[in-house]
Amino acid sequence: MRLLEVKHLFKEFGGVVANSDISLEVEEGMTMGLIGPNGAGKTTLFNCIAGYYRPTRGKILFDGKDITGWPSHQVARIGIARTFQGMKTLPNMTVEENVMVGAFCRTKNREVARGEAQEIMELLNLREKAQSLPTELPIAIQRRIELARALATKPKLLMLDEIAAGLNPLEIKEILQTIKRIKEERRLTLFLIEHVMEFIMTISETVIVMAAGRKIAEGPPEKVAREPKVIEAYLGEKYAKG
C-alpha cells in the first residue's frame, strides 16, 4: 500500500529553486533512503512533506489524503514525524519532558503523556537519563532523545534527517541497530536522509538521489551506487567499484 506520494513538487525561495519537479512514492512498511551532496534540496523536501514549508507547486498525499500545505502540527497528528539535522532538543527540559512534548501531540493528559514517554525511553535505553538535561549528555544520547520524541507522536512515517551525524563508527552501528529494531516492533515506514553511506546503503530498500534540487536516480542501493551520474554527482569511485 502506498503511504506517501509526492507529485511534481517545486519549492522556490525568491528566484532560487530548491526543489524542482520531485516525484516519489513510499510504500507502507518500506525504508526509503535519500542521498545527495550538500545543497541538493533534501532537507527542503523533508520540510515540505512535514509541513514546515508550503510547496510552491505540486501535491503531497499521505495515506490517500491530500496534505499539501498543511501546517506541521496537523501533519504530525495524521502520522508523520521527523527529526532534524541540527539538534532540536529542548535544553531547559529534562529528557523525560522532551519526550512528553511528542506525546502531547496525541493527548492533553499529562500522566498519559508521562506514561507513554517512559515506555519509549525504556525502548531506547533512556530511562536512567530521564531527569537529566539533554545538554549534559553526549551527542549520541541527544540523537536518541530526538528519536524518542518523534516516536512519542505515534507516527506511521518516521523521517530521519541525518540521525547519524556527529556519531563515531560504534555509535553509528548502535543507532542503526536501534532503528531497525523499532521499525519492526512499531511497524514503521522510514524515510531517511543520510551522508554516512554505509548506514544508508545498509538500511534502505530503495534509494533516491538528488542533486541541484532534482531527483537524478532511484532504485535499489546496489544499482544506484553504480550509476555514472550518481558517482559523478556524489558517491565517488569507491562505490562504483564496491
Query: Per the structure block, which three cell numbers stand in for 240?
Result: 562504483
Distance between CA atoms of residues 142 and 148, nearest Å: 10
The pLDDT value recorded for residue 88 is 80
Q: Cβ distance 10 to 19 under 8 Å?
A: yes
Question: Residue 111's pLDDT band (boundaries 50, 70, 90)?
Answer: very high
In whole angstroms, what separates CA 174 from the centre of its chain?
A: 17
Distance between CA atoms of residues 19 and 43, nearest Å: 10
Question: Residue 89's pLDDT band (boundaries 50, 70, 90)?
Answer: confident
Domains of the chain: 2-79+155-241 (3.40.50.300), 91-152 (no CATH)
The two beta strands, 2-13 and 57-62, are: antiparallel
Give per-residue pLDDT as tens, 11-49: 999 989 999 999 999 999 999 999 999 899 999 999 999
Give per-residue pLDDT as tens, 165-207: 889 999 999 999 999 999 999 999 999 999 888 888 899 999 9
Rounded to two decimals, the pTM is 0.91
